[in-house]
Amino acid sequence: MLAEERAELISLLRTLSDEEWESPSLCDGWRVRDVVGHLLYDTIGLPTYGGIAVRCGLSVDRFNGRLVEKAKALSTEALVDKFEHAAGRVSKYAPRLALADVMVHQQDIRRPLGRARTIPADRLITVLEHPDPFAMPWRRTRGLRFVATDVSWSKGHGPEVRGPGEAIVLAMVGRAVAVDELAGDGVVELRRRCG
């Protein structure tokens, strides 16, 4: 599943214009090229990864900022080439984490560019079941029941939030724009948590 998700993103990236590369993504303050720069974390060996993490005070935000800053020196073609060959330790030892990260960031790129896609159900259900823990989804999901209307998936207890699985995934990791596509008694609380 991860290989297919990565391949779809690579195919998309190879079609982007210069203007699209510089366009804002759903990630606050990041352009499309910055999102791809972040995804290069899987090109870093474990000792280097650990060293950067320690220098960043184990802050995920600072670590990501360092990756994005370093990637600014690369051309868009080099970014895609590096990402294409980046299946490293995270992909090998934590493939569900890598799948969740690549899927969400692909949507972070696609949505603002108007490049919609249908995510295969098996991938979508896997990420609904195992969202990126670094995005702290429990902050937004606890005490709510989520029901996907396009795939066979539901989880949780409490006021209901229902809608497309892709929008649920994005809301779980804090993309407030996706909450507008959801319905149910729990939406008001989810919106507050995403705000």
Residues 118-151 have pLDDT tens digits of: 999 999 999 999 999 989 999 999 999 999 999 9
Kindly report the length of the chain: 195
Predicted local distance difference test score (pLDDT) of residue 44: 65
Mean pLDDT, range 80-106, rounded to an integer: 87
- Among the four given CATH numbers 3.30.1050, 3.40.50, 3.40.1620, 1.10.3470, the one describing domain 123-194: 3.30.1050
Domain ranges of the chain: 1-113, 123-194
* Calculated CA dihedral for residues 161, 115, 20, 124, nearest 10 degrees: 50
**Distance (Å, whole) CA 94 – CA 38:** 17
Predicted local distance difference test score (pLDDT) of residue 68: 76
pLDDT digits (tens, 9 = 90+) for 112-124: 999 999 999 999 9
Q: Indicate the pLDDT class of residue 56, thresholds 50, 70 and 90.
A: low
pLDDT digits (tens, 9 = 90+) for 29-39: 999 999 999 88
Cα–Cα separations (whole angstroms), residue 7 to 31, 38, 84, 104, 179: 21, 17, 8, 14, 28
